[in-house]
Every structure is written in structure tokens, then in C-alpha cells.
Structure 1
Amino acid sequence: MNIYLDIAISLLLIFVVFSVVVYVIQEVIAINFEYRGKMLWSSLAQALDGLPVLNRRGMHKGLPEDNAALTGSLFDHAQIRGLMKGNVTLPSYIHSADFAKAVIDVLAAKAPAPGVNKLADFISGLNVQIGVFQAAHPGKSLPPVLDIFRGLAAGAPDLAKLESDIEGWYNRYMARVSGWYQSHVVATVRIIAVGVTLFFNINVFQLGTSIAGDSTMRTNLVGIAERVADHPDQVTALLNKKFDTRIHELDSLAQPNIDSAVKSGDAALANRLRQALEERREDAAKVYTGLRIHAVDSLTRTLSAVKIPIGWHLDQLGQELKPNGSLDWGAIGLLLLGWLITAGCLSMGAPFWFGLLIQFVNIRRAGTKPGGDKKS
């Protein structure tokens, strides 16, 4: 079999493994640093209070310092506060029904003379909120969602219809926010790819040269690649959205009981159920983190057994960069270029490299003579 094909398969395997490492690190960071919760808060503050967000990719980093009174009131509402562990941790997900009930309550409470008709109170409170915003921000455009809510309320025959329409708006808006989150993920993955490249000292030029010159290493890497191709679940299991699926499962199991408690007027029970749901989410995050770290450790150990040229060996690096006692700028440039190419490759994502790996493994197998040994 063509030696160049084996070199390509070996490099693809390495790209698959370390791009999986990049992906897992990004997911673990996002889950444990509340990126989703912060982005949810910021996106709602942008919609409800008109807070400017200059860089949507940075919405996960922290909460806006500007006043976001309506958003603050929304998160102080029992319907939302019950999702916050210890009333501190931001929820990473708010069900559309919870949002609709909470925002209606918050705005209805602003009515000058609240009565028994919550729909009328909502319209009155919304007008008060619009007046407050315009007074505080003369000449500034009204947050579009306030106009949207006013239109929805004007066309709603009853409170149930208003809740349904607000839920629909919320779901559509969250779809947009998901797109912003994906933009953040792309930027974060690139940074993590650089970090992983430097941490493991992965130089694509050094890898290619070593693999080409070491038939044993090449054979071992190709063997691992074939086993991975035969058992793709080893990789795909790490790339699926099991955590998101698990969160949705927990939500779907808990939400009917929460809705039932709300309808029966048992606010204390509803809050306990929401708190229990958030604790189960945190437990799921801990389990996810532990499993992913273990899986990544297993993958990297598999490659380390082959003794591929990664990691920091300062004596060897010093000899390469200062072969005659003075810096070799050509070698330094080649090292930097090797890191840059590697980081770029890792940021392209494991699914891309995994698909190529399987294709190349199949090409290699197609070139094997029936009943004969595979050439190396």
C-alpha cells in the first residue's frame, strides 16, 4: 500500500483525537462556567431592556453593567428564581411557558391599579414600562419586544392566548440566540485549538517527518485508525449532544409536575420542583464532565503508547532551534508555521477529520489484495 496513504491516515487519526480533545474542553468549559446562563441573561436584557450588545460572541463572558430593570425583575420572579440554585446560579435554560407566565406577572404588577383582569393589567403595566423607558432614554428607540408584546396583547382575546403568543415569540428568539451561541463556540474552539496545540506541542511538520521515517509507528497508527473506523462509536459518542439531550429529558419529566403545581396555586411546591430540577441538571453536568475527561484521557493514552513526537522536550527543541549555538530563524519560522497549521486543522472540528479518516481507511482497504496481507 502506498506509504503516503499510510502517512495521511496517521495524521488524520492524530487530528481526530486532538480535535475531539478541543471539542470536549469547549463543552466542559461552557457547562461549568455557566456560559449558556450568562448568554441567556444577556440576550433577554438586550430584548427586554434594550441593552446594546456590541459583540454577541462576548455575551457569555459576563452580565452587562447597564441597568436592566425589567430583566432583573424577570429573574427575581419566583417562576425563574426557582431555577437558580441558591438564587445565585443563572439558569441555562428557561422553558417558554415559565418565561411567558413570569413576564406577564412582572408587567401586570406595574399597572397603576391592578385588578382581577390580568390581561388588562398586563396592557396597563406594559404602557407604564414603555413610558418609564422613554423617560429614562429620551430619543432612544424602544426595545422592539415591547412593541411586539403590545401588539400581541391587543390581539389576544384572553390571557391563555397571550401566554401562547409570548411563548411563540420566546421560542423564535431563542432560536436566534442559539445561532449567536454557535458563533461564540466557533471563536472559543479556535482559541482552545491553539492552547491544545501549544500544550501538547503538536507540530504537523514534525509529525509528518517522524511518521514517514518510522515504519513501526506508521503501522501502529494505521492499525489504531482501522480499529477506530470499525468502531466509530468511540468518537461519535464524544461528539453527540448527550448533555443537551439529558437536560431536555430532565425538563420534559419535571415540567408537567411544575405546571400542575402552578395551576393548583401551590407556589411553594412549584419552587421546590424547580430547585430539584436545577440540582439534577448540575448533577448531570458533573457526570458529563467526569465521563468526558475520562474518555479524552483514554484517547490520548492510546496515542502516547505509540510514542508519536508530541510533548515538550526542551533539550531536543534547543538543538533544533540553535544547532550551531545561535538561533536558526528558519527553524523557528517552520515551528511557528507548524503550530499554526495544526491549530487551524484542530479548529475545523472532529466530525470533518473523522469523516476523512474513514474514507481514507476504506480506500486503503480497497487496495488490499483479496486473501493477501495488507501492504505497509
Structure 2
Amino acid sequence: MAVRLLNYVVADLCLGKPPLKSLPASVTVAEALTALKTFEENYISVWSCKDNQDGIDEIEEVDEDCVCIGKVCMVDIICFLANEENLSSPAEALASPLSALLTPAPGIVRHVEPSSSLLDAIDLILQGTQNLVVPIKTSSRRNLSNSSTHNGGEYCWLTQEDVIRFLLSSIGLFSPVSARTVESLGIISPDFLAVWYHSPASTAIGAISQALAEQTSVGVVDDNGILVGEISPFTLAGCDESVAAAIATLSTGDLMSYIDCGGPPDDIIKLVKETLKERNYEGTLEEFEVFSPNISSSNSSSSEDDESSASPITPFTRPGRYSKSRSYSARMVPKAEAIVCHPGSSLVAVMIQALSHRVSYVWVIEDDCRLIGIVTFTNMLAVLREHFHSMS
């Protein structure tokens, strides 16, 4: 059975995967924003084609005419618009080329052949690749759309989550490693992103962008290092671009309330608008009103909603209780919460936690809820890859 697992190839993990939606590298930020809302995708692949030479000289040599060079999501746009230089003129920022959002780090996405081995895929992920772009077979009767077709065919991509989920289905082969604690395996990383609850949310822009690039999250802690919540790129990806105004004007704690309360409270909306006016960001305020009808409509909410939003914004009821409310966006996402484990949690338990909540990390806390580290899919894959080595 172990040998059979080693014989799996990338194509085996692609079964049932949908074709990628895509954008040309030549589009603007505004066009990418429209595409994200139209496709209702968390991520859209970005392609460069020899037809228009969009960055083709800067990418890896391949035989195809079109190559996937990156990916874009709502978080990229939110962080871009929240930068101070873009707040005064959001319309001009939205007219910027999409390349302004693409990470300069090479290898975030990599083309691989369907015949590539599972071990090769894991090695690429451990080297920093987030998405493996794989050609997929398509029915000749399928109408291939321009948004998903390149080089005469369609592609899907594999993520860390896909590989971890696949390995979990054969977790018995990794015994006794899978039953060991994350502490004994040495995979608790003390290098994590965290911000103070009362700090300005704008100071977290860099951390949010880094968390997105690393596929982790930004922990929010109090004065004692207690984890009271998080600012998750996964949650932000389900919001709309108006969150940029909230990031620019609110504290970190208020920002958590803004994105995690099922709808931003009226007093928080008022604070955002007043602060934008004080800072002479009329352009941002105008955009904030225009592209956020769902937020503006909260002023006409029911009496029950008014009563709930009248309460002051405070941290969670007690350390260790994590928000499970939905994002306010019309593009609803699964419930966002800070997923935690303890140093004594087993590897398999942490894998299941992360997969069940569709995140690629789990926070590690002590019994008093003090944040001590994070375990990521990359940490897990490194341990499982070493076990693979002993099997081969």
C-alpha cells in the first residue's frame, strides 16, 4: 500500500477539479475587481501570452504561448487601496495595471505535467510554490470559454490543501508519526504574524499582505499576549473593496468587528465616514458610498439589528472564545474563526482541524490562551515528506 501511494501522480489529484478562471496580465485593477465579483472566485489566475508580450520575458521558459504568472484575489485589491497613497484617489488606483498587485516572488505558481509524481508536487510546495498549474482533459463537446482556455486546453491548479486532504485519506500509512504531538515533532513555528488589539488597523496592512503570501493569518493579541481573534485573508477575500476604507480608519479591534459581525455596526460605519472626511479623503468616501450599497443599507436595518449594533465594540467575551459570525459581504464565505490547538495536539488532529475549516494553518496556544506559535500546511508536509523518504 505504501508503494502504491508513492506511485500517485499529479493527475490523480486533479480528478473533478474545475478549470481555472483567468485574467490577462494586461488588465487594470478595476477590471480584475469586476472579474472577481463576476466569477465569484476567491482567486483568479493571471496569464501572460506571447500575443501581447505581457511580462513574458520575466517568466520561466515554457513551450506554450500562454503561461500562468500569478494569481489575484480581493485581499490584494483591499490592501492596495488601503495604502495611504491610494486613499486620496481610489479611482486612479483602480486604473493601475494589474501588475501592481502581483507578488514579485518567483515560483508562487508553477506549471507541472499531469504525470509529475506526488513527491515532486510536495517538493515544489516545500520550496515555496502555492499553486501547481496542471493541464486537464476536457470533453470535446464542452464549450471552452475565453476565461478558462489557454494553449487550446484548460487548466486546474492544486494547492497545499488539496495535497494535505489527499494524504489524510491514507493517514494510516504515516503511523506512528501522525499520532505524535505537534510539539514533539518540532513543527510549531514561533515566527508568526500578530498585531495588538488597540493598534491602528493600517499598521497591519503589511502583515495582511505577508499573511496572504504565506497562506497564514494575522493574530490579534491583547497586552498579555492572549489571542483574542485574527484578521484572516480568507475572511477578507469574501468582503468587498470598501474594507480598504475601514482598514485605513479603524483600530484593529474595530476592524475585526467590522468584518466579523454579520454586518458592520452603524457606529463603526459612522466612524469610518467621519475619519475619511477629517483626512480629506473625499474620493475614497465617494467610492465608499458608491460601491458599498450593502453597507449603506445597514442604516435602514430592523429594530432588532439597531439594538444589537448599539452595543459598544469590545473584545470577545473572554479569551478563548472566537468569533464564528459571517462576513457582511453579499459574497458569503464560511464562518471565520481563529482555529487553535495546543502543543499536545496530535498531527492528525491538527490536519483535520485545518481542513474542516478550510484554512492552511492552526494557531497554537497555551492553556491560558497565550499565543505561542502556528502550525502550517508547509510544516505538516515537511514531516510527511520525511516519512515518505523513509518509505522509498
Under a length normalisation based on structure 2, what TM-score does the superposition of the two structures give? 0.28
Could you say which structure has the higher helix fraction? 1
Q: Taking CA–CA contacts closer than 8 Å with sequence separation of 6 or more, which of the two structures ends up with the larger relative contact order?
A: 1
Could you say which structure has the higher strand fraction? 2
Larger radius of gyration: 1
